[in-house]
């Protein structure tokens, strides 16, 4: 059981908090993971009463759990929750807040601050917390969790780091990438390193190429302003897809301790060869969705219509090809693609093995780690169709489910909030990982931003645009659809 602590949520009335954080904390409480005296302080800029806040929590839980939850746990959970307003025009807001936290005996003095706020506010809040002596670890632990994105490019990430590290040691900083909290992602490492069959074929002798895919049927929704300042490459590739890449291709860590895992991930991310910008069209492809039909939603608008600005060249589809400068992966292309508004949602890692047979007609072998919606691992192999004389082969799927119906459903944020209060940094990003990721992505974004020509449009609800295939190394390669 973790130490008694006070978890402070900044941005507690925002979407993330309503949909993930508060329900996640409730589920942790239900599972007996929160220490008896733990308190949750929700900080907001609106002046609402404790009573109103409790009603809001009730509403969030009812929506999430369909009114099916234990009322005894609900009462306990409500008692842990306190709303505190820091009004934007009050110069003493942080002073009052610190007085409350430090002097009121209801609050355990180990503090975890979860910053689910605008990225431009991260450094400011850390400065204010430090000023009020809330980050000093002389007697108690003090941790700060920073939501994604950590910077919007390498320079701003370095600046943010310089600013917060004036007040915080690396062991106090929890940079989140919520994909690392997904059990299916953790499973990649365990599958690779707990099964001896994988190691000998995990290299350029046996593997033809790797595809790391995230497809969504969702569009950008109400986040048009955020998204247009961000784009798919920054939103997904820089963070989630590169983390999936690291787990799939890193060397075996010395041990499974958080530090040893991070050492190998950092090495791997640093080994990515920069994309040759003079040949960028062979390495990176971008596009935008136009109006179309999405199953269950019907007709949907195109990105530019939602944005109400037809000049934007920000991508909702991004596919890139990278190579790793390591002996294991020399000359093996790795494709990373992410899209909004495709025909199907799915996150999966597909590994295509080389076809060394003389008979080129033989179909290929694939190994797929399916991350979501289904959590499974499968091989696709060729087997003989039963029958007389003729030898006909067909693809057979050998699939193992990594999550069974009866298994506990734990949201990624729930896992990560528990890590935060238990002091486990293994599923959080080290600053060197963040820097390596921006170093790869920055030159592509810069090139794309400067090129204002209208970008390729794909119809919402369709497959990957055919034009994206320009990045393939050879003609035998194709996008694997669906998981
Ligand atoms: C977020 C992105 O980090 O991840 C969103 O900002 C994206 O644009 C989301 O939709 C995907 O997360 P998940 O867990 O639904 O796959």
d(CA 149, ligand 1 centre) in Å: 12
240 given a catalytic annotation = yes
Residue among 240, 242, 415, 429 to mutate when testing ligand 1 (max atoms within 8 A of CB): 240
Catalytic residue among 167, 240, 430, 456: 240
d(CA 1, ligand 1 centre) in Å: 30
- Contacts of 289 by beta carbon, 8 Å cutoff, 6+ apart: 219, 302, 303, 316, 317, 339, 340, 341, 457, 458, 459, 460
- Is the Cβ–Cβ distance between 184 and 372 less than 8 Å? yes
This prediction's pTM: 0.95
d(CA 413, ligand 1 centre) in Å: 12
For ligand 1, is residue 235 a contact (CB within 6 Å)?
A: yes
CA distance linking residue 40 with residue 458, whole number of Å: 45
Residue among 152, 178, 185, 222 to mutate when testing ligand 1 (max atoms within 8 A of CB): 178
What's the confidence (pLDDT) of residue 265? 96
Helix (H, G, I), strand (E, B) or coil at 314: coil
Helix (H, G, I), strand (E, B) or coil at 369: strand
What's the confidence (pLDDT) of residue 97? 94
Helices in 328-430 by DSSP H: which ranges? 412-422
Q: Where are the beta strands (DSSP E) in 385-480?
A: 393-401, 456-459
- Of 5, 15, 1, 21, give the one whose Cα is nearest residue 80: 5
Q: pLDDT tens digits, the chain, 483 residues: what are they?
A: 789 999 999 999 999 999 999 999 999 999 999 999 999 999 998 999 999 999 999 999 999 888 778 889 999 999 999 999 987 788 899 999 999 999 999 999 999 999 999 999 999 999 999 999 999 999 999 999 999 999 999 999 999 999 999 999 999 999 999 999 999 999 999 999 999 999 999 999 999 999 999 999 999 999 999 999 999 999 999 999 999 999 999 999 999 888 899 999 999 999 999 999 999 999 999 999 999 999 999 999 999 999 999 999 999 999 999 999 999 999 999 999 999 999 999 999 999 999 866 565 667 899 999 999 999 999 999 888 998 877 888 889 999 999 888 888 889 999 999 999 999 998 999 999 999 999 999 999 999 999 999 999 999 999 999 999 999 999 899 999 988
Tell me which residue has its CA closest to atom 2 in ligand 1: 235
Q: Which atom of ligand 1 approaches the CA of 239 most closely?
A: 3
Euclidean distance between the first and the last CA atom of the chain, given in angstroms as a whole number: 37
Domains of the chain: 6-147 (3.40.50.720), 180-471 (3.30.360.10)
Residue among 116, 146, 215, 216 to mutate when testing ligand 1 (max atoms within 8 A of CB): 216
For ligand 1, is residue 216 a contact (CB within 6 Å)?
A: yes
d(CA 344, ligand 1 centre) in Å: 15
CB count, 10 Å around CB of 159? 13
- Of 381, 378, 383, give the one whose Cα is nearest residue 367: 378
CA distance linking residue 355 with residue 382, whole number of Å: 12
């Amino acid at each position: 059981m973790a130490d008694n602590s006070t978890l402070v949520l900044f941005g507690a009335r925002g979407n993330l908090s309503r949909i993930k954080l508060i329900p996640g904390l409730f589920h942790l409480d239900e599972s007996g993971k929160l220490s008896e005296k733990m308190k949750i302080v929700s900080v907001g800029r609106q002046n609402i009463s404790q009573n109103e806040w409790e009603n809001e929590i009730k509403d969030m839980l009812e929506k999430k759990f369909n009114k099916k939850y234990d009322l005894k746990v609900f009462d306990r959970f409500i008692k842990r929750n306190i709303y505190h307003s820091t009004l934007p025009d009050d110069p003493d807001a942080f002073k009052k807040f610190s007085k409350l936290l430090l002097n009121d005996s209801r609050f355990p003095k180990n503090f975890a601050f979860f910053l689910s706020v605008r990225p431009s506010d991260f450094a400011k809040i850390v400065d204010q917390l430090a000023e009020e002596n809330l980050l000093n670890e002389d007697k108690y632990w003090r941790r700060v969790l920073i939501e994604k994105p950590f910077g919007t490019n390498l320079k701003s990430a370095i600046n943010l780091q310089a600013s917060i590290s004036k007040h915080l040691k690396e062991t106090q900083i929890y940079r989140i990438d919520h994909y690392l909290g997904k059990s299916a992602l953790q499973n990649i490492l365990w599958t690779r390193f707990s099964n001896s069959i994988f190691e000998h074929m995990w290299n350029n002798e046996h593997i033809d190429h790797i595809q790391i895919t995230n497809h969504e049927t969702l569009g950008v929704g109400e986040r048009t302003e955020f998204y247009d300042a961000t784009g798919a490459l920054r939103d997904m590739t820089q963070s989630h897809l590169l983390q999936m890449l690291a787990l799939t291709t890193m060397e075996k860590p010395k041990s499974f301790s958080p530090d040893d895992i991070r050492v190998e991930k950092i090495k791997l991310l640093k080994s990515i060869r920069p994309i040759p910008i003079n040949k960028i069209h062979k390495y990176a492809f971008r596009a935008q969705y136009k109006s179309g039909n999405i199953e269950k939603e019907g007709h949907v608008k195109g990105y530019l219509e939602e944005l109400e600005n037809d000049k934007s060249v920000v991508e909702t589809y991004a596919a890139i090809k990278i190579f790793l400068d390591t002996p294991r992966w020399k000359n093996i292309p790795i494709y990373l693609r992410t899209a909004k508004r495709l025909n199907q949602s799915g996150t999966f890692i597909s590994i295509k093995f080389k076809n060394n047979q003389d008979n080129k007609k033989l179909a290929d072998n694939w190994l797929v780690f399916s991350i979501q919606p289904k959590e499974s691992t499968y091989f696709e192999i060729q087997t003989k169709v039963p029958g007389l004389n003729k030898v006909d082969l067909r693809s057979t799927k050998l699939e193992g489910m990594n999550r069974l119906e009866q298994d506990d459903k734990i949201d990624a944020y729930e896992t990560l909030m528990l890590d935060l209060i238990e002091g486990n940094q293994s599923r959080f990003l080290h600053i060197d990982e963040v820097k390596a990721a921006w170093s790869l992505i920055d030159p592509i974004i810069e090139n794309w931003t400067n090129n204002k020509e209208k970008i390729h449009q794909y119809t919402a609800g369709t497959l990957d645009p055919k034009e994206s295939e320009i990045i393939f190394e050879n003609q035998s390669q194709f996008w694997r659809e669906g998981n």
